[in-house]
Amino acid sequence: MRKVLWLFVPCFYDCQSFLELQKRANQIAAKELAQLSLRFVLIDDSGGQDSELSTLDAHPQVEVVTAPYNLGHQGALVFGLRKMSQSIAAEDYVVTLDCDGEDRPEDLPSLLYPLLEHEHNLHSVCLAQRTKRNESLLFKSLYFFFKLFFSTLTGTVVRNGNFAAYRGWVVKNILFHPFFDYCYSSSLLGLPINRYNIPLARGSRYHGSSKMTLVSLVSHGFRMLLPFSERIAIRSIILSFFLFASAPTLAIFYSLLLVSGHNLPILLVAAGVLAVASAIIAATSCIFFQIVNQTKALSLRELTTPIFVSHQSELRSEREQRAHDYLASTKSTR
Protein backbone atom coordinates (compact mmCIF):
# COMPACT_ATOMS: atom_id res chain seq x y z
CA MET A 1 0.00 0.00 0.00
CA ARG A 2 1.36 3.41 -1.00
CA LYS A 3 2.12 5.96 1.68
CA VAL A 4 0.23 9.25 1.51
CA LEU A 5 1.81 12.61 0.74
CA TRP A 6 -0.33 15.24 2.47
CA LEU A 7 -0.11 18.82 1.21
CA PHE A 8 -1.46 21.30 3.77
CA VAL A 9 -2.32 24.63 2.15
CA PRO A 10 -3.85 27.69 3.88
CA CYS A 11 -6.13 29.74 1.64
CA PHE A 12 -7.59 33.20 2.19
CA TYR A 13 -9.84 34.13 -0.76
CA ASP A 14 -7.35 32.67 -3.25
CA CYS A 15 -9.09 29.66 -4.78
CA GLN A 16 -7.66 30.24 -8.26
CA SER A 17 -4.11 30.04 -6.96
CA PHE A 18 -4.90 26.81 -5.12
CA LEU A 19 -6.31 25.22 -8.28
CA GLU A 20 -3.13 26.16 -10.15
CA LEU A 21 -0.98 24.76 -7.33
CA GLN A 22 -3.04 21.55 -7.29
CA LYS A 23 -2.58 21.05 -11.02
CA ARG A 24 1.18 21.58 -10.88
CA ALA A 25 1.62 19.41 -7.78
CA ASN A 26 -0.25 16.54 -9.45
CA GLN A 27 1.95 16.84 -12.53
CA ILE A 28 5.16 16.75 -10.47
CA ALA A 29 3.92 13.91 -8.27
CA ALA A 30 2.99 11.79 -11.30
CA LYS A 31 6.50 12.18 -12.72
CA GLU A 32 8.79 12.13 -9.69
CA LEU A 33 6.78 11.00 -6.66
CA ALA A 34 4.70 8.21 -8.15
CA GLN A 35 5.38 6.00 -5.11
CA LEU A 36 3.22 8.31 -2.99
CA SER A 37 -0.53 8.91 -3.02
CA LEU A 38 -1.21 12.66 -3.11
CA ARG A 39 -3.84 14.27 -0.85
CA PHE A 40 -4.59 17.97 -0.37
CA VAL A 41 -5.84 19.58 2.82
CA LEU A 42 -6.99 23.14 2.16
CA ILE A 43 -7.48 25.25 5.27
CA ASP A 44 -10.15 27.86 4.55
CA ASP A 45 -8.92 30.87 6.53
CA SER A 46 -11.95 32.95 5.58
CA GLY A 47 -14.05 31.22 8.23
CA GLY A 48 -16.31 29.61 5.62
CA GLN A 49 -17.05 32.88 3.82
CA ASP A 50 -15.21 32.10 0.57
CA SER A 51 -17.97 30.72 -1.68
CA GLU A 52 -15.48 29.77 -4.41
CA LEU A 53 -14.28 26.86 -2.29
CA SER A 54 -17.69 25.17 -2.32
CA THR A 55 -16.97 23.00 -5.36
CA LEU A 56 -13.80 21.58 -3.79
CA ASP A 57 -15.82 19.50 -1.31
CA ALA A 58 -16.90 17.24 -4.16
CA HIS A 59 -13.26 16.60 -5.12
CA PRO A 60 -12.05 13.24 -3.74
CA GLN A 61 -8.43 14.43 -3.56
CA VAL A 62 -9.15 17.56 -1.49
CA GLU A 63 -10.17 17.82 2.16
CA VAL A 64 -11.41 21.28 3.18
CA VAL A 65 -10.87 22.25 6.82
CA THR A 66 -12.62 25.47 7.79
CA ALA A 67 -11.17 27.75 10.43
CA PRO A 68 -13.84 29.41 12.60
CA TYR A 69 -12.35 32.83 11.77
CA ASN A 70 -9.27 34.32 10.12
CA LEU A 71 -6.23 32.90 11.95
CA GLY A 72 -3.52 34.07 9.56
CA HIS A 73 -1.64 31.64 7.33
CA GLN A 74 0.55 30.19 10.09
CA GLY A 75 -2.26 29.84 12.61
CA ALA A 76 -4.40 28.23 9.92
CA LEU A 77 -1.67 25.68 9.20
CA VAL A 78 -1.38 24.69 12.86
CA PHE A 79 -5.17 24.49 13.14
CA GLY A 80 -5.45 22.25 10.07
CA LEU A 81 -2.55 19.98 11.05
CA ARG A 82 -3.95 19.39 14.52
CA LYS A 83 -7.46 18.79 13.17
CA MET A 84 -6.21 16.16 10.72
CA SER A 85 -3.64 14.54 13.01
CA GLN A 86 -5.83 11.48 13.65
CA SER A 87 -6.17 10.84 9.90
CA ILE A 88 -2.42 10.95 9.22
CA ALA A 89 -0.32 7.81 9.69
CA ALA A 90 3.06 8.18 11.39
CA GLU A 91 4.77 6.89 8.22
CA ASP A 92 3.00 9.33 5.89
CA TYR A 93 4.72 12.39 4.42
CA VAL A 94 3.47 15.91 5.17
CA VAL A 95 4.31 19.15 3.35
CA THR A 96 3.07 22.61 4.31
CA LEU A 97 3.13 25.39 1.71
CA ASP A 98 1.33 28.57 0.75
CA CYS A 99 -1.09 28.41 -2.17
CA ASP A 100 0.04 31.61 -3.92
CA GLY A 101 2.88 29.97 -5.90
CA GLU A 102 5.80 31.39 -3.94
CA ASP A 103 6.30 27.90 -2.48
CA ARG A 104 6.81 26.05 -5.74
CA PRO A 105 5.29 22.55 -6.20
CA GLU A 106 8.17 21.90 -8.61
CA ASP A 107 10.50 21.86 -5.58
CA LEU A 108 8.62 19.08 -3.78
CA PRO A 109 11.05 16.31 -4.86
CA SER A 110 14.05 18.32 -3.62
CA LEU A 111 12.37 19.16 -0.32
CA LEU A 112 11.32 15.55 0.28
CA TYR A 113 14.58 13.95 -0.85
CA PRO A 114 16.21 13.57 2.62
CA LEU A 115 13.03 12.03 4.03
CA LEU A 116 12.70 9.58 1.15
CA GLU A 117 16.39 8.66 1.41
CA HIS A 118 16.08 7.95 5.15
CA GLU A 119 12.67 6.33 5.09
CA HIS A 120 12.90 4.80 8.56
CA ASN A 121 13.74 8.12 10.23
CA LEU A 122 10.39 9.60 11.27
CA HIS A 123 11.74 12.42 13.44
CA SER A 124 13.43 14.80 10.96
CA VAL A 125 12.18 18.02 9.40
CA CYS A 126 13.15 19.52 6.03
CA LEU A 127 13.02 23.32 5.77
CA ALA A 128 13.21 25.34 2.56
CA GLN A 129 15.92 27.96 2.97
CA ARG A 130 15.34 30.86 0.62
CA THR A 131 18.24 31.66 -1.69
CA LYS A 132 16.37 34.24 -3.78
CA ARG A 133 13.26 36.36 -3.23
CA ASN A 134 11.18 38.14 -5.87
CA GLU A 135 10.43 41.17 -3.72
CA SER A 136 10.80 44.94 -3.94
CA LEU A 137 13.97 46.70 -2.83
CA LEU A 138 12.12 48.18 0.17
CA PHE A 139 10.94 44.75 1.34
CA LYS A 140 14.41 43.25 0.89
CA SER A 141 15.94 46.10 2.91
CA LEU A 142 13.43 45.73 5.75
CA TYR A 143 13.84 41.95 5.70
CA PHE A 144 17.61 42.32 5.95
CA PHE A 145 17.31 44.44 9.10
CA PHE A 146 14.74 42.04 10.53
CA LYS A 147 17.10 39.10 10.02
CA LEU A 148 19.88 41.09 11.70
CA PHE A 149 17.56 41.95 14.61
CA PHE A 150 16.37 38.34 14.87
CA SER A 151 19.91 36.97 14.79
CA THR A 152 21.07 39.43 17.47
CA LEU A 153 18.29 38.43 19.85
CA THR A 154 18.22 34.68 19.22
CA GLY A 155 21.61 33.75 17.77
CA THR A 156 19.77 32.08 14.88
CA VAL A 157 19.58 33.13 11.23
CA VAL A 158 16.05 32.90 9.83
CA ARG A 159 15.59 32.01 6.17
CA ASN A 160 12.62 29.67 6.26
CA GLY A 161 8.87 30.16 5.95
CA ASN A 162 5.91 27.80 5.71
CA PHE A 163 7.49 25.52 3.09
CA ALA A 164 8.49 22.47 5.14
CA ALA A 165 8.30 18.67 4.98
CA TYR A 166 8.27 15.95 7.63
CA ARG A 167 6.67 12.63 8.50
CA GLY A 168 3.29 12.08 10.10
CA TRP A 169 5.02 11.24 13.38
CA VAL A 170 6.00 14.90 13.72
CA VAL A 171 2.37 16.00 13.38
CA LYS A 172 1.24 13.57 16.06
CA ASN A 173 4.06 14.20 18.54
CA ILE A 174 5.56 17.67 17.96
CA LEU A 175 2.89 19.91 16.39
CA PHE A 176 1.01 20.04 19.70
CA HIS A 177 3.96 21.73 21.42
CA PRO A 178 2.85 25.11 22.86
CA PHE A 179 5.40 26.98 20.72
CA PHE A 180 3.24 26.29 17.66
CA ASP A 181 0.43 28.26 19.28
CA TYR A 182 2.63 31.33 18.71
CA CYS A 183 4.32 30.78 15.35
CA TYR A 184 4.61 27.80 13.02
CA SER A 185 7.77 28.54 11.04
CA SER A 186 10.05 29.69 13.87
CA SER A 187 8.91 26.79 16.09
CA LEU A 188 10.29 24.39 13.49
CA LEU A 189 13.50 26.40 13.67
CA GLY A 190 13.68 26.77 17.43
CA LEU A 191 12.83 23.30 18.73
CA PRO A 192 15.72 20.82 19.24
CA ILE A 193 14.83 18.51 16.35
CA ASN A 194 16.92 17.16 13.49
CA ARG A 195 16.65 19.50 10.50
CA TYR A 196 17.68 19.43 6.87
CA ASN A 197 18.03 22.88 5.28
CA ILE A 198 17.22 22.72 1.57
CA PRO A 199 18.30 25.78 -0.48
CA LEU A 200 15.38 26.73 -2.73
CA ALA A 201 14.53 29.94 -4.59
CA ARG A 202 11.20 31.57 -3.86
CA GLY A 203 8.70 31.45 -6.73
CA SER A 204 6.40 34.11 -8.16
CA ARG A 205 2.73 34.53 -7.29
CA TYR A 206 0.20 32.88 -9.58
CA HIS A 207 -2.49 35.53 -9.20
CA GLY A 208 -3.03 38.87 -7.48
CA SER A 209 -0.91 40.36 -4.73
CA SER A 210 -0.21 39.67 -1.07
CA LYS A 211 -3.00 40.51 1.38
CA MET A 212 -0.57 41.07 4.27
CA THR A 213 -0.23 44.68 5.42
CA LEU A 214 2.85 46.28 6.96
CA VAL A 215 1.25 45.95 10.41
CA SER A 216 0.62 42.24 9.79
CA LEU A 217 4.22 41.71 8.71
CA VAL A 218 5.60 43.49 11.80
CA SER A 219 3.27 41.51 14.07
CA HIS A 220 4.32 38.28 12.38
CA GLY A 221 7.98 39.21 12.82
CA PHE A 222 7.55 39.69 16.57
CA ARG A 223 5.58 36.45 16.89
CA MET A 224 8.51 34.64 15.33
CA LEU A 225 10.57 35.67 18.36
CA LEU A 226 8.20 34.12 20.91
CA PRO A 227 9.39 30.49 20.56
CA PHE A 228 12.86 31.83 21.40
CA SER A 229 11.67 33.63 24.55
CA GLU A 230 13.90 31.63 26.88
CA ARG A 231 16.98 32.24 24.75
CA ILE A 232 16.19 35.96 24.47
CA ALA A 233 15.61 36.17 28.23
CA ILE A 234 19.00 34.60 28.97
CA ARG A 235 20.74 36.99 26.59
CA SER A 236 18.88 39.92 28.15
CA ILE A 237 19.94 38.84 31.65
CA ILE A 238 23.57 38.66 30.54
CA LEU A 239 23.31 42.12 28.96
CA SER A 240 21.59 43.51 32.08
CA PHE A 241 24.33 42.09 34.29
CA PHE A 242 26.97 43.69 32.06
CA LEU A 243 25.22 47.07 32.23
CA PHE A 244 24.75 46.75 35.99
CA ALA A 245 28.43 45.92 36.42
CA SER A 246 29.46 48.90 34.30
CA ALA A 247 27.22 51.33 36.22
CA PRO A 248 29.73 51.93 39.09
CA THR A 249 32.46 52.67 36.56
CA LEU A 250 30.21 55.18 34.81
CA ALA A 251 29.24 56.76 38.15
CA ILE A 252 32.91 57.16 39.12
CA PHE A 253 33.64 58.71 35.73
CA TYR A 254 30.81 61.26 36.12
CA SER A 255 31.90 62.03 39.71
CA LEU A 256 35.49 62.72 38.64
CA LEU A 257 34.23 65.07 35.95
CA LEU A 258 32.14 66.99 38.48
CA VAL A 259 34.91 67.11 41.13
CA SER A 260 37.41 68.39 38.60
CA GLY A 261 35.08 71.23 37.73
CA HIS A 262 34.03 69.96 34.33
CA ASN A 263 30.44 70.36 33.27
CA LEU A 264 28.74 67.27 31.94
CA PRO A 265 28.03 67.69 28.21
CA ILE A 266 24.32 68.22 27.73
CA LEU A 267 24.30 65.79 24.81
CA LEU A 268 25.85 63.10 27.01
CA VAL A 269 23.17 63.55 29.66
CA ALA A 270 20.41 63.63 27.04
CA ALA A 271 21.77 60.45 25.46
CA GLY A 272 21.72 58.69 28.83
CA VAL A 273 18.14 59.75 29.58
CA LEU A 274 17.03 58.76 26.07
CA ALA A 275 18.70 55.36 26.42
CA VAL A 276 16.95 54.67 29.74
CA ALA A 277 13.58 55.84 28.38
CA SER A 278 14.00 53.74 25.24
CA ALA A 279 14.85 50.67 27.32
CA ILE A 280 11.73 51.15 29.47
CA ILE A 281 9.48 51.64 26.43
CA ALA A 282 11.00 48.61 24.68
CA ALA A 283 10.57 46.42 27.77
CA THR A 284 6.97 47.57 28.26
CA SER A 285 6.15 46.95 24.59
CA CYS A 286 7.66 43.46 24.73
CA ILE A 287 5.67 42.57 27.85
CA PHE A 288 2.44 43.87 26.30
CA PHE A 289 3.10 41.99 23.06
CA GLN A 290 3.85 38.80 25.01
CA ILE A 291 0.54 39.08 26.92
CA VAL A 292 -1.49 39.71 23.76
CA ASN A 293 0.06 36.80 21.90
CA GLN A 294 -0.30 34.53 24.93
CA THR A 295 -4.03 35.20 24.70
CA LYS A 296 -4.05 34.44 20.97
CA ALA A 297 -2.06 31.26 21.56
CA LEU A 298 -4.54 30.02 24.17
CA SER A 299 -7.37 30.77 21.75
CA LEU A 300 -5.70 28.74 19.00
CA ARG A 301 -5.21 25.82 21.38
CA GLU A 302 -8.89 25.94 22.35
CA LEU A 303 -9.88 25.70 18.67
CA THR A 304 -8.40 22.19 18.47
CA THR A 305 -10.48 20.84 21.35
CA PRO A 306 -13.53 18.61 20.73
CA ILE A 307 -15.97 21.50 21.23
CA PHE A 308 -15.25 22.61 17.65
CA VAL A 309 -15.68 19.18 16.04
CA SER A 310 -19.45 19.57 15.68
CA HIS A 311 -18.95 23.10 14.30
CA GLN A 312 -16.51 21.73 11.73
CA SER A 313 -18.97 19.00 10.70
CA GLU A 314 -21.77 21.53 10.27
CA LEU A 315 -19.61 23.74 8.04
CA ARG A 316 -18.57 20.76 5.97
CA SER A 317 -22.20 19.66 5.52
CA GLU A 318 -23.10 23.17 4.39
CA ARG A 319 -20.27 23.13 1.86
CA GLU A 320 -21.29 19.72 0.53
CA GLN A 321 -24.87 20.93 0.10
CA ARG A 322 -23.72 24.06 -1.73
CA ALA A 323 -21.46 21.97 -3.97
CA HIS A 324 -24.36 19.59 -4.71
CA ASP A 325 -26.68 22.51 -5.55
CA TYR A 326 -24.01 24.07 -7.76
CA LEU A 327 -23.46 20.85 -9.73
CA ALA A 328 -27.22 20.32 -10.06
CA SER A 329 -27.74 23.84 -11.40
CA THR A 330 -24.88 23.35 -13.86
CA LYS A 331 -26.44 20.17 -15.22
CA SER A 332 -29.86 21.81 -15.54
CA THR A 333 -28.45 24.69 -17.60
CA ARG A 334 -26.95 22.20 -19.99
Domain map of the chain by residue range?
3-229+297-333
- The yes/no answer on whether domain 3-229+297-333 falls in CATH 2.60.40 is no
DSSP 65-127: EE-SS---HHHHHHHHHHHTGGGS-TTSEEEE--TTSSS-GGGHHHHHHHHHHTTT--S-EEE
Residue 317 confidence (pLDDT) above 70: no
User: Dihedrals φ, ψ of 181, to 5°?
Assistant: -70, -25
Q: What pTM was estimated for this model as a whole?
A: 0.76
The 10 Å CB-count burial string (b at 16+, else e) for 276-309 is: eeeeeeeeeeeeeeeeebeebbeebeebbeeebe
Residue 297 confidence (pLDDT) above 80: no
Mean pLDDT of the chain: 80
309 contacts 82 by C-beta, under 8 angstroms: no
Most confident by average pLDDT, 150-159, 307-316, 325-334: 150-159
